[in-house]
Amino acid sequence: MKRKMDLAIIGLGNWGSSLAHGCVAANIPMSEVVVRRGTRSRTELPVVRFEDAKLDARILWLCVRDGEISDVAERIVAHRGHLSGQIVVHSSGALNVRALEAAKRVGAHVASIAPVMSFPTRTPVSLKGVMFAVEATTEIRRQLEGLVRRLGGEPFQIESNKKPTYHAAATLASPLLLSEISAAMATARLAGLPPKQAARWVSALAQATLTNFVSRGAEKSFSGPFARGDAATIRLHLQSLGEHPMLKEIYGSLARFAVEEFSVQRRRELKSLFKRVR
């Protein structure tokens, strides 16, 4: 007899809050939301403490920090004893299913489903249209991809041994993109722009660039002194950043990648310029 696809969420941090509210919105059966301490009322969410949890849902979805996944899996095994017929899932983009080895040893199917989205606070984020990287065996992949679609997401497969590289790419695309934007703002402030004006100025450029990237691709969106091969202007940039080594280093690293990656004029001269400033 096939078990119903009910769900228990373990952890109610930033991501867990969005997943729980996504399940409510999609009418996905949610047997319990397991938290470490406290059971403060959260409207429709069935919150329980770990000690009181049944952990008998078809899917146990761990929404905890990467460094806690293996320990929480061990706790579930100690609490439950066996997990035959259940699926234990974690949401790490960097770790693969080996982090759930304890659950696998006692009969669970194991998988990871990592949302491609930023969850900066506990305010729920809509999962409509969010991509999810799914790492799972053929036996359960279809079920989990169906669950992602019910949440409104778009599943895609990820190879287990390439997850750290995949997560590095995700980090470059989100938190480190913010770091680069913040570096641009810091440089604008060095140029004398007040903080609010610097934020508006950088935001306008960044938004236009991302819009162009989405509609045209990177190569056709690349412009400015590098595309023109304007070495004299780039030298002025480097000279102006000479007293700010971290900003100069960020500029230089991104510039060297741009010279290698994109169609630029006077490539040899630009490469020679950045060899001298390392």
pTM of the model: 0.83
DSSP state at residue 150: H
Report the pLDDT value the prediction gives residue 3, as an integer from 0 to 100: 57
pLDDT at 39: 56
**Beta pairing partners, 33:** 9, 47
> Would the pLDDT of 23 be above 80?
yes
In this structure, is the dihedral angle defined by the CA atoms of residues 248, 253, 258 and 259, taken in order, positive or negative?
A: positive
Question: If you average pLDDT over residues 36-51, what whole number do you get?
Answer: 77
Question: How far is C-alpha 186 from the geometric centre of its chain's CA atoms?
Answer: 25
Confidence bin at 43 (pLDDT 50/70/90): low
What is the structure's pLDDT at 37? Answer: 75
Alpha helices in the chain (DSSP H): 14-25, 69-80, 101-105, 138-150, 163-173, 175-190, 195-216, 225-228, 231-240, 245-261, 267-276
Q: Is the dihedral of CA 92, 94, 97, 103 positive or negative?
A: negative
Going from the C-alpha of 226 to that of each of 16, 25, 182, 191, the distances in angstroms are 43, 47, 21, 21
60 pLDDT higher than 50: yes
**Residue 36: band (very low, low, confident or very high) from pLDDT cuts 50, 70, 90:** confident
Looking at per-residue pLDDT, the higher value among 274 and 188 belongs to 188
Q: What is the per-residue pLDDT across 208-243, written as a single tens digit (0 to 9) for each?
A: 999 999 999 999 999 999 999 999 999 999 999 999
Mean pLDDT, the chain, as a whole number?
Answer: 92
CA dist 13 and 17 (Å) reads 6
User: Of 180, 182, 172, 264, which is closest to residue 223 (Cα–Cα)?
Assistant: 264
| 141-187: pLDDT as tens digits | 999 999 999 999 999 999 999 999 999 999 999 999 999 999 999 99
**Percentage of the residues of the chain whose pLDDT score is greater than 70:** 95
- What is the mean pLDDT of the segment spanning 258-275? 87
Give ∠ CA 46-47-50 in degrees, rounded to 5: 130
Is it the case that residue 40 has pLDDT exceeding 80? no
Report the pLDDT value the prediction gives residue 1, as an integer from 0 to 100.
41
In the predicted structure, residue 14 carries a pLDDT above the cut 70: yes
Confidence of residue 263 (pLDDT cuts 50, 70, 90): confident
